[in-house]
A = this chain, B = another copy of it.
């Protein structure tokens, strides 16, 4: 059993962590903090937790987080970068679900997040928590940067192609669609149901924070800067991301008559949380609702040189809290799928 703390538990990644950790056989929930809700029972705010979580929110200053084995930050960007050090110094491992430690290039980070970074050294130390890319490093991590939601769907869908060098990595396209829970539990007009319901639109076409994060990983894999056009969209549903990815096979790959289906199947053969579907399948977001799987299908329409990948995740699970638990399992030597053997809720 490990003792687990959560800083900032009033958002959707917080309640989702609680849903998963409440039933995790090796986890004791020690503390959950929220400056604005001290003393309120978590299950009053999130009644699905009634009978499962008896904790009340405590003050971040007063909570005994240092006695935890691991602390999750489910806070807005810019909190963990200051607060993590004291915990790390006390021997606590830290998983940040926000973006504070995701981007190695601090100039890029500052440009997109509008702040100067408080702890550049911790950024250098942080391990990027995409297990399919980084499993060994994650096992030894003290400080883990949990990836973004669009990022996870897009990166897992392009990774084998870019790694194999089969596609022109200067003109990748990611058309990604997310349910509204991705915007967080914040009182804002654009995500009211009367605004976002029964409608569909793109957002952040000019630039989205997940763009540099995807590019960082793909450029590393490719050995050179990738060119990516990334357009996120808002879907009138609560959970789920589907990313449709477009890449052009290189002339060499065409000549060699490469088999992209086989490429994906081999790349993810041993992955517990990536499911490459048979040819002709159409992944639905609901097939992973509440579940930590990334489900993929690969196509070459009309047998041409364009590869299309459809990649679905639950943005709050594999796109956030589920992946964080998967990372925690790796960090503490638990079976990687412990607490995550959940069947997706369909219908």
Interface on A for B, CB 8 Å cutoff?
Answer: 12, 15, 18-19, 22-23, 46-52, 171, 173, 175, 177, 179-181, 183, 185-189, 191-203, 205-207, 227, 229-231, 233, 235-240, 242, 244, 246, 248, 275, 277, 280-291, 293, 295, 297, 299, 301-302, 304, 306, 308, 310, 312, 316, 341-347
Q: Contact: A192 with B194, CB < 8 Å?
A: no
5 contacts between A and B (CB under 8 A): A180-B197, A185-B192, A206-B299, A227-B304, A345-B345
The complex places the Cα of A207 from the Cα of B303 at a distance, in Å, of 11
| Bound: A287/B202 CA distance, A | 13
Q: Which residues of B contact A306 (CB under 8 A)?
A: 171, 173, 229
**Nearest residue in B to A178 (C-beta to C-beta)?**
B200
Which residues from chain B contact A180 at a C-beta distance below 8 Å?
192-194, 197
What's the minimum C-beta distance from A192 to chain B, rounded to whole angstroms?
5
Q: How far is the CA of A173 from the CA of B291 in the complex (A)?
A: 31
Q: Which residues of B contact A12 (CB under 8 A)?
A: 194, 347
The CA-CA distance from A19 to B341 in the complex, in Å, is 11
A200 & B237 in contact (Cβ 8 Å cutoff):
yes
Question: What separation, in Å, do the CA atoms of A57 and B158 have in the docked complex?
Answer: 35
B236/A199 in contact, CB under 8 A: no
Asked if A51 and B19 sit within 8 Å, CB to CB, the answer is no
| Cβ contacts under 8 Å, A175 to chain B | 175, 244, 246
Shortest Cβ gap from A289 to chain B (Å): 7
Contact call A201/B47, Cβ cutoff below 8 A: no
Q: How far is the CA of A46 from the CA of B187 in the complex (A)?
A: 20
Task: Tell whether, in the assembled complex, residue B287 and residue A343 are in contact, meaning their CB atoms are under 8 Å apart.
Answer: no
Instruction: Please tell me if the beta carbons of A200 and B235 are within 8 angstroms of each other in the complex.
Output: yes
18 extra A-B contacts, CB within 8 A, seeds A175-B244, A197-B237: A46-B346, A48-B345, A48-B346, A50-B287, A50-B295, A51-B293, A177-B177, A177-B233, A180-B193, A183-B194, A193-B197, A197-B198, A197-B238, A205-B299, A206-B280, A229-B308, A236-B237, A289-B345
A200-B237, A233-B177, A235-B236 known; A301 vs B205 contact (CB < 8 Å): yes
Q: Which residues of B contact A299 (CB under 8 A)?
A: 205-206
Give the residue name and chain of the B residue nearest to A241 (CB). Answer: B200
Which of A18, A183, A191, A230 is most buried by chain B, counting CB atoms within 10 A of its CB? Answer: A191
* A275 and B181 form a contact (CB under 8 A): no
A281 CB, min distance to chain B CBs, angstroms: 8
| Cross-interface CB contact of A47 among B227, B235, B295, B308, cutoff 8 Å | B295
Q: A197-B197, A200-B285 are in contact. Are A229 and B19 (CB under 8 A)?
A: no
**Are B233 and A198 interface neighbours, CB within 8 A?**
no
Chain B residues, CB < 8 A from A289: 48, 198-199, 345
- Most chain B CB atoms below 10 A, which of A18, A201, A283, A301: A201
Are A284 and B198 neighbours in the complex by a CB distance under 8 Å?
no
Task: State in angstroms the CA–CA spacing of A236 and B180 once bound together.
Answer: 13
